[in-house]
């Protein structure tokens, strides 16, 4: 799996990079077909009083690519590490949901194949 971490208006420290890698290892355990993950950590100053009361906001975004699909999540917080944790939790939920859907589709297609084989055998028995 290819993980790239970049920063916007912030320098990425070794501790931030290690935190992101540790959190994304949990995501990797759930799905082994991940092609790449791009993480963007940014520091923005919102002047809107309803959002963060003018304080600096830390944002963590991730774009995960699997065969045929992309998953995007973002999380904002006043602390970068809390934003990274929230981003990883959101991504983990999306990956588990994706995997559940894939498993259901695989089980349904296998069930259809078995049912068609059984119905073919029944029709052969009726002919004989």
pLDDT band at 18 (very low <50, low <70, confident <90, very high): very high
Domain range for residue 119? 2-127
Q: Strands, DSSP E only, in the chain?
A: 2-8, 34-45, 56-66, 69-77
Rg (CA), the chain: 22
pLDDT digits (tens, 9 = 90+) for 72-102: 999 999 999 999 999 999 999 999 999 999 8
pLDDT digits (tens, 9 = 90+) for 38-75: 999 999 876 555 555 556 689 999 999 998 899 999 99
pLDDT digits (tens, 9 = 90+) for 104-113: 988 888 777 8
Q: Domain tally for the chain?
A: 1
Separation of CA 117 from chain center: 37
CATH value at residue 7 = 3.30.160.100
> The whole model's pTM is what?
0.78
Judged against a pLDDT cut of 80, whether residue 128 lies above it is answered with no
């Amino acid at each position: 799996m290819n993980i790239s971490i970049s920063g916007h208006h912030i320098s990425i420290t070794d501790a931030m990079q290690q935190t992101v890698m540790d959190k994304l290892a949990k995501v990797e355990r759930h799905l082994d077909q991940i092609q790449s993950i791009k993480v963007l950590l940014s520091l923005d100053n919102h002047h809107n009083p309803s959002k963060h009361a003018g304080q600096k906001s830390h944002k963590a975004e991730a774009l995960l690519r699997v065969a045929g699909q992309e998953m995007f999540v973002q999380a904002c917080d006043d602390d970068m590490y809390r934003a990274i944790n929230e981003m990883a939790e959101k991504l983990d939920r999306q990956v588990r949901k994706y995997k559940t859907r894939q498993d259901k589709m695989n089980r349904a297609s296998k069930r259809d194949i078995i049912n068609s084989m059984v119905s073919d055998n029944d029709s052969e028995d009726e002919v004989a």
